[in-house]
Amino acid sequence: MPRCFICKEPVVLATCVADERGRSVHEGCYLRKQDGAEQEKKENAVKKTLRKWLLKHDKF
Ligand SMILES: [Zn+2]
């Protein structure tokens, strides 16, 4: 039985989805992972903005 690439639990083919690389994962795990990636992107954007602000205002 294939295992979910994210949580390592067995996946049932009827309920699993394929991630962007074609690995079988639970739909719930996949959605959680997508959420995590979105969150990380947002945090990076905030960090970048903050860094720019600090550079502009010479606070380093
Ligand atoms: Zn899973």
Q: Residues 4-17: pLDDT tens digits?
A: 999 999 998 887 89
What is the torsion angle, in degrees rounded to the nearest 10, for the CA atoms of residue 10, residue 4, residue 27 and residue 13?
-50
- Cα distance between residue 49 and residue 7, in whole Å: 34
Task: Tell how far the Cα of 28 is from the centroid of ligand 1, in angstroms.
Answer: 7
Using the mean position of ligand 1's atoms as its centre, give its distance from the Cα of residue 9 in Å: 6
Residues 49 and 47: their CA atoms lie apart, in Å, by 5
Please choose, from the candidates 4, 2, 3, 6, the residue with its C-alpha nearest in 3D space to the C-alpha of residue 33.
Answer: 6
Asked whether the whole model's pTM tops 0.75, one would answer no
- C-alpha 35 to ligand 1 mean position (Å): 14
Distance 46 CA to ligand 1 centre (A): 30
pLDDT at 60 (0 to 100):
58
Task: State the pLDDT at residue 23.
Answer: 93
Q: Tell how far the Cα of 21 is from the centroid of ligand 1, in angstroms.
A: 15
pLDDT in tens, 15-56: 789 988 999 999 999 999 989 999 999 999 999 999 999 999
